[in-house]
Each structure stands twice: as structure tokens, then as C-alpha cells.
């Protein structure tokens, strides 16, 4: 039997090279245009932390340490292909340790030199050290997501998977997959457009349930590393940004809104992740995401994402700053068709 999410594990593989240096190969099928998807790249970096502590600090903890917090800055666009990863040990502690990471690739202006494309800090902790006060807060998504067919508005997930519909929920086909290829790695379910709505707070809110399908694997399961990818995967939110951006641009020019709106790219500038709960080693089939955008201004967006399991437990949260730029900025001098 192949290992869990074999194609994903291969896509985020990190190999030690000595002296706190590692190598990875960013995959084309996880790209947006010519640029590896930010959540996928973050999953590679998540795996880097696991590999680094297993390789460089194998006796530091009695159980393997895993990231509990990531703060990343995407300085330059990455590219499909080889990447060098460097790690600096900032603090190696009894309960938590913090490392500084860099992701480097050949410079687009001078391929003989490496440029730093992503930097960040990762804090790890072993599960055995996660002790202390735990108290329920009673948090739930508000306003509540549109209802499913079960009592109290719960969704019949097996029916949703089998038929593509349950209550107000239907299966969505992520748009523009020829450009946003990373969106083909999951199955996405959301409210029917007739019940999708803007929340009373005025913020734009997206609800989604998702199943992981790396490389088309029908048995894919969400793991801790895959959750990092999910935190940056929200095609319906980008579809909404497409509409907002195309409408604003057309209004500024006094023109009609074009029918083809996917002329924009939404690169991540900074991404902050708080991992709240480890998933079981065998993974889980379903995860829910609540995505909220409060302000779109000056070509810049905010995104607040919360990922929850079937029991209502929060698995992870993230906040990010993104840009709205022309899709031509993604491709540049690169040739999309040859990737």
C-alpha cells in the first residue's frame, strides 16, 4: 500500500545537504501560473522544520517536534524547480525552539547567483511539552455557515461527497485551473450561489468544506502539513477578488466590466500561521474553512482563515497580507506553456 498522500509527500520532500542546508524541488503542478502556490511553498517549509530537528537535533525532545507557529515573508516570486533552504538556530529550548529559515533560488537577473525569495521564523514544540491550562471559549463561526440537511443545520458529508449536494451546499469546480493549477489538488464544496452572501459586518466571508486530492488521489487525507496548504487555498475568495478588481478597474476607466475577469494575480506578502491541534497520523477526510476579508484597498488585501474539523475543533488559523496585481506580473519573462 502506498504511503499516505504519496505524491504530496514527494512534492514537499526536503533533503539534508549538511551545515544546516537542505534542498527541495518545487513542483509545477502546485503552481499558480509560473509561481509555486504560497500554501504549497509553506508546506515545504513546514516539512523543512520537521526534517531539520530530526536531522540536526535528534535528541532534543523525547517526541518529534512540529511547528506550532510560522511567520513568513515572501520577498520575491519563487519558481518551479530546485530550491536551497537554509536554517539558523535562533533558540533551542526545552519546551519550544525557534529557527530562522531562508528559501533561495537562482536569481532571475543573474542565474549564477542565489536570491532569497522567502524568509521567516518557525517555532516548534513536541506534543509531550504541550501541557498547561486548556479551557473552552465557546467560539463558533459567526454568522453561522449556511445549513446542511441534518438536524441543527449540520451537513451530511457522505451525501455531499456522493451526490455533490446537501442542503445549501454544492460541489464547486475551482475556476481557471489552467492558471491556478494548485487548485486541482483538492475537492471543494461551498454554499450555492443563491445562499452565499456578504455578512452583516460588511466583511466578505467565504465558507468551504474540502477534501484533499493530491495528484488526483481519491484516498487523500488532510495531514498537518497539508493543512498549511489549505490555509492558503480559497478559490471562491479569489473569484470574488476577480469580480471586485475587474469592476473597480472598469469603473475607473468608465468601461463595461469584462466577462473574463481572471486577469489578476494575488501574491502573498506575509503569512502568519498558528497551529492549534495536531491531526491524527492517518489524517482526516474533511476540513472546514472560514475565510474573511475586511478591506481591499490600494491593491492590497487582508485574509483571515480558520480551519475546523468535523467536531468543531479549531485546527489552525492564519492571517495574511496579499497584493492584487496584473497576472502578467506572475508570468513576466517566463513562458507558461513550457513549464
Beta carbons within 10 angstroms of residue 90's beta carbon: 12
**Fold of the 6-127 domain:** Porin (2.40.160)
Show the cell assigned to 2.
Answer: 502506498
Which pLDDT band, with edges at 50, 70 and 90, does 296 fall under? confident
Q: Which of the residue ranges 59-73, 177-191, 218-232, 295-309 would you say has the lowest mean pLDDT?
A: 177-191
Which pLDDT band, with edges at 50, 70 and 90, does 311 fall under? very high
Judge whether 198 and 272 are in contact, CB under 8 Å: no
For residues 231 and 318, what is the distance between their CA atoms, to the nearest angstrom? 7
**For range 239-243, the mean pLDDT:** 65
Judge whether 14 and 85 are in contact, CB under 8 Å: yes
Highest mean pLDDT among 121-125, 172-176, 230-234: 121-125
CATH of domain 151-338: 3.10.129.10
The residues, any chain, with a CB within 8 Å of residue 190's CB and separated by 6 or more, are 169, 170, 172, 196, 206, 207, 208, 209, 236
Q: What is the pLDDT of residues 10-56, one digit of tens each?
A: 999 999 998 999 999 999 999 988 999 999 999 999 999 999 999 99
Coil vs helix vs strand at 248 = helix
| Residue burial 211-226, b: 16+ Cβ < 10 Å; e: rest | bbbbbebeebbbbbbb
CATH 2.40.160.210 intervals, the chain: 6-127
For residues 151 and 196, what is the distance between their CA atoms, to the nearest angstrom? 20
CATH 3.10.129.10 intervals, the chain: 151-338
The residues, any chain, with a CB within 8 Å of residue 198's CB and separated by 6 or more, are 204, 205
Phi, psi angles (nearest 5°) of residue 7: -65, -35
DSSP run (H or E) holding 304: strand 300-308
Amino acid at each position: 500500500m502506498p504511503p499516505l498522500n504519496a505524491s504530496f509527500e514527494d512534492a514537499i520532500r526536503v533533503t539534508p545537504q549538511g551545515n544546516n542546508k537542505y534542498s527541495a524541488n518545487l513542483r509545477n503542478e502546485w503552481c499558480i501560473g509560473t509561481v509555486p502556490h504560497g500554501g504549497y511553498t509553506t508546506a515545504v517549509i513546514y516539512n523543512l522544520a520537521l526534517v531539520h530537528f530530526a536531522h540536526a537535533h535528534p535528541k532534543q525532545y523525547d517526541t518529534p517536534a512540529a511547528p506550532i507557529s510560522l511567520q513568513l515573508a515572501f520577498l520575491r516570486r519563487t519558481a518551479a524547480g530546485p530550491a536551497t533552504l537554509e536554517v539558523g538556530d535562533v533558540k533551542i529550548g526545552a519546551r519550544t525552539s525557534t529557527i530562522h529559515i531562508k528559501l533561495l533560488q537562482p536569481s532571475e537577473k543573474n542565474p549564477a547567483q542565489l536570491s532569497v525569495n522567502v524568509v521567516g521564523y518557525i517555532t516548534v514544540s513536541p506534543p509531550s511539552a504541550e501541557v498547561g491550562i486548556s479551557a473552552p471559549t465557546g467560539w463558533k463561526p459567526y454568522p453561522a455557515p449556511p445549513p446542511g440537511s441534518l438536524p441543527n443545520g449540520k451537513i451530511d458529508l457522505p451525501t455531499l461527497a456522493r451526490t455533490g449536494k446537501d442542503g445549501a451546499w454544492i460541489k464547486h469546480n475551482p475556476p481557471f485551473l489552467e492558471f491556478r493549477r494548485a487548485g486541482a489538488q483538492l475537492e471543494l464544496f461551498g454554499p450555492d450561489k443563491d445562499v452565499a452572501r456578504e455578512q452583516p459586518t460588511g466583511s466578505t466571508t467565504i465558507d468551504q468544506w474540502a477534501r484533499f486530492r493530491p495528484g488526483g488521489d481519491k484516498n487523500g487525507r488532510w495531514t498537518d502539513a497539508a493543512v498549511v496548504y489549505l490555509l492558503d487555498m480559497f478559490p471562491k475568495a479569489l473569484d470574488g477578488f476577480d469580480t471586485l478588481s475587474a469592476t473597480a478597474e472598469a469603473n475607473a476607466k468608465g468601461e463595461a466590466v469584462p466577462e473574463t475577469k481572471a486577469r489578476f494575480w494575488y501574491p502573498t506578502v506575509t503569512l502568519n500561521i498558528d497551529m492549534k491541534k495536531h491531526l491524527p497520523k492517518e489524517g482526516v477526510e474533511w476540513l472546514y474553512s472560514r475565510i474573511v476579508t475586511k478591506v481591499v484597498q490600494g491593491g492590497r488585501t487582508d485574509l483571515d482563515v480558520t480551519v475546523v474539523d468535523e467536531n468543531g475543533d479549531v485546527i489552525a488559523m492564519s492571517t495574511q497580507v496579499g497584493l492584487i496585481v496584473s497576472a502578467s506580473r506572475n508570468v513576466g519573462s517566463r513562458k507558461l506553456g513550457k513549464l
